[in-house]
Amino acid sequence: MPPPPGPGGLADPPGRRPPRPAPVEDPEDVERVLRQNAARRAGRDELARAHPEFRQVSPQLGELDEQAMSDLAARDPEAAARLLAAMGRAFDPGLRAAARALACRLPVGAPRTGVPDRPGTRRMVTRRDDTGSDVDLDASLAARGAEPHWQPAHLHTRGWRATGRACVLLVDASGSVAGDELAVAVLTAAALAQRMRPGDEYAVVAFWSQAVVLRPLSADPRTDVVVDRLFDLAGGGTTDLDLGLRTAAAQLARSRAAARDVLLLSDGLPTDSPDPLPSAAALARAGAHLHVLSLSEEPESVANCAALAAAGDGRVAPLLRPTQAPAAVRTLLG
C-alpha cells in the first residue's frame, strides 16, 4: 500500500518522519504546556476512598497533620508516599500547598560523600560548543558520522572545565504520571537535590511526545518549583525517548562541570522515537554518563534499560517503589 499523502497531496518518502517538536524551555511556554496538560485534582471524598489513612492525616479542610504523616511513614512508608503524592493534587488549596511543601523537605538521605577535587582545579575536556581553544577533530568527525555536509552541531572543541557536578533528571511522563509514578518522580527529584553540593548544578526534564524543561540547569538549591511542576504535570501520550536524551544533552552542554550525569527515570520502552541508543552513546562521547532508574521488571524493559546505560557509559538501578528513590540515587551517583 502506498504511503498516505503528505502536505499538498504529495506522498512522504518512505521512512520519513513528521517534524519533531523542539524542546520547551522558555518559562512562559513551559507554563502554557503545563496548563494544557494539567493533572486532575482530587476531592477529599475521593482521597478518603483511595487512601484509608487520609482522614487521620488531614482531619480538617486545609490541614495536614505532619505527626500523623510521620506515624504513617513509620508503619507503611509506601502508603505514606502515595498519600503525599495524592494530596499534592488535591482540590483543597491549603492541603495541596502543605503536601507540596512537605515533599520539598522530606528527609531522603545524607549529602553525597567522597573526596572532591581540590578547589580551583580544572580539567581539559571535549565540549560541544565553540568556547574551546582548539577543535577536537576526532570528536567532530564522530559527531558528523555519515552526514554529507558539516553542521554547527558537529563541532566539538577542547577547553578547560571546572570541577563539580552537573546532573539532569530525565522523567518519562509518557504514561499516566499518578500514584506510584508521581511519588517516585517527586522523591527522586528531592533525593537528587539533596545529593548536590554547593556549586553543583542540576536540571529536571520531563518528556513524552515532547520534552519540557521543568528546571533549567542551575546551582539553585531550591526544589519547590520542580516539585510544583511535577505535581501539575498530567503526562500521557507516546514516548520519544530520543528527544528526551537529546534535550538532557543540551542542558549538560551548557555546564563546565567535570562530572556530568543524566538520571533517566523510565521503563526504557520508546513507543514513537528514533533509536535512542545513538543519543545515549553521544552522551558518553561528550564525557557524560547516562544512568537509568528502571521502573519495570518486565524482561523487555530490563533489557532496554541495560542497553541504554551500557551505551551511555552508565549504570542501572531498579526503582520499583517510591521509597527506593533515595537509595537508587545514592547507588548511581555515589
Cα–Cα nearest to 68, from 78, 81, 55: 55
pLDDT, greater one: 77 or 115:
77
Residues of the chain with CATH 3.40.50.410: 164-333
- Is a pLDDT exceeding 60 seen at residue 182? yes
pLDDT digits (tens, 9 = 90+) for 291-331: 999 998 999 999 999 999 999 999 999 998 888 888 899 88
Which of 316, 234, 203 is closest to 267 using CA atoms?
316
pLDDT grade for 155, boundaries at 50, 70 and 90: confident
User: What is the reported pLDDT for 224?
Assistant: 87
Asked whether the predicted pLDDT for residue 203 surpasses 80, the reply is yes
**What is the distance, to the nearest Å, from the Cα of residue 251 to the centroid of all Cα atoms in its chain?**
12
Q: Please give the average per-residue pLDDT across 61-83, as a whole number.
A: 93
Question: In a 3-state reduction of DSSP, which class is residue 4?
Answer: coil
Residue 46: predicted pLDDT: 96
Task: Look at residue 1 in the predicted model and tell me its pLDDT.
Answer: 40
Mean pLDDT value across the chain: 83
Banded model confidence at residue 67, pLDDT cuts 50, 70, 90: very high
CB–CB of 284/290 below 8 Å? yes
User: What band does 178 get if pLDDT is binned at 50, 70 and 90?
Assistant: low
| Distance from C-alpha of 157 to C-alpha of 128, rounded to nearest angstrom | 6
pLDDT digits (tens, 9 = 90+) for 96-108: 999 999 988 776 5
- Per-residue pLDDT tens over the stretch 21-45: 789 999 899 999 888 888 889 999 9
pLDDT on residue 15: 53
Q: Which of 6-10, 16-20, 190-194, 213-217 has the lowest mean pLDDT?
A: 6-10
**What percent of the chain lies above the pLDDT cut of 90?**
47
Task: Give me the DSSP letters along 221-264.
Answer: ---HHHHHHHHHB-B-S---HHHHHHHHHHHHTT---SEEEEEE
- Distance CA(220)–CA(203), nearest Å, equals 10
- Asked if the model's pLDDT at residue 112 lies above 60, the reply is no
Tell me which of 210 and 109 has the higher pLDDT: 210
Predicted confidence at residue 221, as pLDDT, reads: 81
In this structure, of 62-66, 166-170, 330-334, the range with the lowest mean pLDDT score is: 330-334
Task: Give the whole-number percent of the chain exceeding pLDDT 70.
Answer: 82
Specify the CATH architecture of the domain 164-333: 3-Layer(aba) Sandwich (3.40)
Work out the pLDDT band at 114, boundaries 50, 70, 90: very low
Q: Which residues make beta-bridge pairs with 126? A: 158
| Residue of 3, 183, 203 whose CA lies nearest to 82 | 183
Taking 60 as the threshold, does the pLDDT of residue 111 lie above it? Answer: no
At residue 177 the predicted structure's pLDDT band, cuts being 50, 70 and 90, is: low
At 158-175, the pLDDT tens digits run: 655 455 899 999 999 887
pTM summary value = 0.77
pLDDT band at 133 (very low <50, low <70, confident <90, very high): low
Residues 325, 327, 329: CA angle, nearest 5 degrees = 70
> Mean pLDDT across the stretch 219-240?
86
Least confident of 219-223, 266-270, 302-306, 326-330: 219-223
Q: Give the pLDDT score at 6.
A: 37
